[in-house]
Amino acid sequence: MCSRESQLSRGFLFCLQAMCNWPGEGQHSNAVAVQRALPEVPVVSIPQVPPLSEPLTNWVALKDVADGMSQVLRVMKGEIPGDEEHLQGAKQEVQVEHLQIDQNHLWHPYTSMVKPGRVWSVRSAEGCLIQLEDGRRLVDGMASWWCAIHGYNVPELNAAAANQLGQMSHVMFGGLTHRPATLLAKQLLDCAPEGLTQVFLCDSGSVSVEVALKMSLQYWAMKGKPSKCRIATVQRGYHGDTFGAMSVCDPVRGMHTLFKGALAQQLFAEPPELSTDWSTGDDGFSSMESLLKERHQEVAAVIIEPVVQGAGGMRIYNPSYLQKLRKLCDELDVLLIFDEIATGFGRTGKLFAAEHAQVSPDIMCIGKALTGGYCTLGAAIASEKVSHGVSGPDGRQPLMHGPTFMGNPLACSIAAASIQLLLDGPWHSRVKSIEEQLVRELRPLAAYAEVEDVRVLGAIGVVELKTAPAEPQKLQAALVDQGVWLRPFGRTIYTMPPFVISSEELSRISGAIASVLDAHIPRSAE
Ligand SMILES: *Cc1c(COP(=O)(O)O)cnc(C)c1O
């Protein structure tokens, strides 16, 4: 059993166990015991091999050995031995029960428990392939909501997790500290935009937004300006699903209009202009400019997703917007928060999207790819101006936030390993070649009558339709049938693949998008 545990922890799933039996063991043999413990696994038993000094020829000639070996081959070829059929039946029952529990008792993201959507059951994932329980392998075009930048089952991250588990998975961060947290803080500050110096580690992206908002409000309260208590932002933004974060998401098209009455009333400017050609055109800053000029007395901070508005529509805009915003925030005494949860760690072709504009925010929120997609972790990283400001002139006021799992050592160790792996590898050229390939393969789709726009930046490729697909479920199933995992939303079919994706795998994603457009949406007449 020990060796079985160690095989499982290395990701081997058992379909067959071959045992060598001692002569005359019968009822109490190893094989019988193992079969009892693993009723689902075919167990094949063969006689014990002779001592090293004896030739194997006699042993090989034994009928039991020949029978055992041919049984092994049949199982390996997928032919189920006759007496194992009942086990297959049992496996199917387990599968049906599993999906029923899911359907009846488990909420999935943004779904109804009354009419849940279809789900596909995953057995494992490796590299850029997600293996379903039915044996199909899907090329992953989502990086699990933009997190799994190194792909899945990454030896370096597995090792970091295993090593940390051997030390401690968690200890409270109140009054205690540990190497994983200090190592991660140092790494983050070494690569973060200039001027960010203090790290608040927390549970997730949304919580890092809560912390950033709280820092901004507390900052002005301690400056004796409690009337600066609103947050300004742009429409089409997405910052998470907790209440503070919801208050700065797009108020009209966003996912949270139901809660309007319960949310803090924030200030919204028009969204930045869509643009991937940054040499020309209006960046759309004037709306934010007039909003801030008019209302800066009430504004504690501006929060914005730099260069790419993600879940609000995959909108790419000109970094000149951020330069103007930084300048105006300084002039009017307003803090600036960049939500880099989606864009951080190389996704847009720079380590952080702020680098496109060469400006630093006062607070930066990160999450998603921080642990390479292994587990949840977020951080709000502040400048000294902010971190000192929140504690008032005498430095006595604590920052009133402290989640139970703050600084979780397991998550910190994995995050540190993930950042190291990213920085040690050729992430920049990988993202560049993904960008070039997405431009080559997705741009031609702009010719389809139903396609509004195709845009690419770094490892982000977006096909925006003129209208949302009537049956998103069917679209999803068609993509799975094409052997890829994509999760279209609203009017967009988009990909944000792991950076380690091969060009063949990426072509399968582009090809699948083209083929669902062919199948579901007629091409323009010309
Ligand atoms: C995903 C996301 C969040 C929320 O992060 P969670 O970890 O899901 O709470 C916030 N902001 C942006 C820009 C995101 O993409």
List, for residues 433-480, the tens digit of each pLDDT value. 999 999 999 999 999 999 999 999 999 999 999 999 988 889 999 999
How do residues 142-161 score in pLDDT, each as one tens digit? 999 999 999 999 999 999 99
Give me the mean pLDDT over the 274-298 stretch: 95
- Rounded CA-CA distance 192/188 in Å is 6
Helix (H) or strand (E) holding 338: strand 335-339
**Is 343 touching ligand 1 by the criterion CB < 6 Å?**
no
CB atoms within 10 A of CB 39: 10
Give me the mean pLDDT over the 216-224 stretch: 98
pLDDT score recorded for residue 318: 97
Strand locations in 81-171 (E): 122-126, 129-132, 137-140
Give the list of residues 6+ apart from residue 43 with CB closer than 8 angstroms, or none: 16, 17, 18, 19, 31, 34, 35
Whether the per-residue pLDDT at 11 is higher than 50: the answer is yes
One-letter amino acid of 306: P
Contacts 24+ apart (CB under 8 A), 73-82: 75/15, 75/16, 75/42, 75/44, 76/16, 80/42, 81/42
The one catalytic residue among 63, 77, 83, 110: 110
**Is 366 touching ligand 1 by the criterion CB < 6 Å?**
no
Distance 375 CA to ligand 1 centre (A): 14
Strand-pair partners of 198? 382
DSSP state of 27: G
Give me the mean pLDDT over the 380-400 stretch: 97
Give me the mean pLDDT over the 373-400 stretch: 97
* 237 CA closest ligand 1 atom index: 13
pLDDT score recorded for residue 519: 84
CATH number for domain 155-424, candidates 3.40.50.300, 3.40.640.10, 3.30.1490.20, 3.30.70.20 = 3.40.640.10
Rg (Cα) of the chain, in Å, rounded?
27
Q: Computed from CA positions of residues 282, 285, 289, 295, in that sequence, does the dihedral angle turn out positive or negative?
A: positive
Choose between 380 and 83: higher pLDDT: 380
**Is 204 touching ligand 1 by the criterion CB < 6 Å?**
yes
pLDDT score recorded for residue 130: 98
pTM of the entire structure? 0.88
How do residues 99-139 score in pLDDT, each as one tens digit? 999 999 999 999 999 999 999 999 999 999 999 999 999 99
Q: Nearest C-alpha to atom 6 of ligand 1 is from which residue?
A: 205
Give the list of residues 6+ apart from residue 481 with CB closer than 8 angstroms, or none: none
CA dihedral 415, 419, 425, 431 (to 10 degrees): 100
Give me the mean pLDDT over the 74-94 stretch: 68
Whether the per-residue pLDDT at 241 is higher than 80: the answer is yes
**Is 216 touching ligand 1 by the criterion CB < 6 Å?**
no
pLDDT score recorded for residue 526: 42
- Rounded CA-CA distance 106/113 in Å is 8
From 144, 149, 201, 206, the mutation candidate for ligand 1 (largest count of ligand atoms within 8 A of CB) is: 206
Share of the chain above pLDDT 90, in %: 75
Task: With beta carbons less than 8 A apart as the criterion, state whether 343 and 352 touch.
Answer: yes
**Is 369 touching ligand 1 by the criterion CB < 6 Å?**
no
pLDDT score recorded for residue 28: 64
Task: With beta carbons less than 8 A apart as the criterion, state whether 7 and 33 touch.
Answer: no
Task: With beta carbons less than 8 A apart as the criterion, state whether 376 and 203 touch.
Answer: yes
Count of positions (residues) in the chain: 526
Average pLDDT, the chain: 91
Distance 465 CA to ligand 1 centre (A): 24
pLDDT score recorded for residue 107: 97
**Is 206 touching ligand 1 by the criterion CB < 6 Å?**
yes
Share of the chain above pLDDT 70, in %: 91
Helix (H) or strand (E) holding 86: helix 85-105
pLDDT score recorded for residue 320: 97
The one catalytic residue among 324, 368, 448, 494: 368
pLDDT score recorded for residue 43: 75
**Is 140 touching ligand 1 by the criterion CB < 6 Å?**
no
CA distances from 75 to 41, 70, 81, 136, 227 (A): 10, 9, 7, 19, 72
One-letter amino acid of 25: E
Distance of CA 452 to the CA centre of its chain: 27
**Is 342 touching ligand 1 by the criterion CB < 6 Å?**
yes
- Rounded CA-CA distance 366/10 in Å is 30
From 368, 375, 487, the mutation candidate for ligand 1 (largest count of ligand atoms within 8 A of CB) is: 368
**Is 340 touching ligand 1 by the criterion CB < 6 Å?**
no
CA distances from 244 to 225, 249, 262, 296, 327 (A): 20, 9, 10, 20, 26
Whether the per-residue pLDDT at 421 is higher than 70: the answer is yes
Domain with CATH 3.90.1150.10 in the chain: 122-140+427-518
Q: Nearest C-alpha to atom 11 of ligand 1 is from which residue?
A: 239
Distance 175 CA to ligand 1 centre (A): 29
Instruction: Map residue 512 onto helix, strand or coil.
Output: helix
Is 448 noted as a catalytic residue in this protein?
Answer: no
* 339 CA closest ligand 1 atom index: 13
Give me the mean pLDDT over the 340-348 stretch: 98
pLDDT score recorded for residue 525: 46
Residue appearing with tokens 């993202």: 431
Q: Dig out the tokens for 168 from the structure.
A: 């401690």
Distance 417 CA to ligand 1 centre (A): 21
How do residues 301-334 score in pLDDT, each as one tens digit? 999 999 999 999 999 999 999 999 999 999 999 9
Whether the per-residue pLDDT at 82 is higher than 60: the answer is no
**Is 486 touching ligand 1 by the criterion CB < 6 Å?**
no
**Burial group, residue 147, by CB count within 10 angstroms (0-12, 13-18, 19+):** buried
The one catalytic residue among 152, 238, 317, 494: 238
CATH number for domain 122-140+427-518, candidates 3.40.640.10, 3.90.1150.10, 3.30.70.2200, 3.30.565.10 = 3.90.1150.10
pLDDT score recorded for residue 173: 98
Domain with CATH 3.40.640.10 in the chain: 155-424
Choose between 270 and 90: higher pLDDT: 270
Is 339 noted as a catalytic residue in this protein?
Answer: yes
Give the list of residues 6+ apart from residue 135 with CB closer than 8 angstroms, or none: none
* 209 CA closest ligand 1 atom index: 10
DSSP states along 215-236: HHHHHHHHTT-TT--EEEEETT
How do residues 31-52 score in pLDDT, each as one tens digit? 777 777 776 677 777 888 888 8
- Rounded CA-CA distance 513/207 in Å is 34
**Is 239 touching ligand 1 by the criterion CB < 6 Å?**
yes
**Number of alpha helices (DSSP H) and beta strands (DSSP E) in the chain:** 18, 18
Helix (H) or strand (E) holding 357: helix 354-357
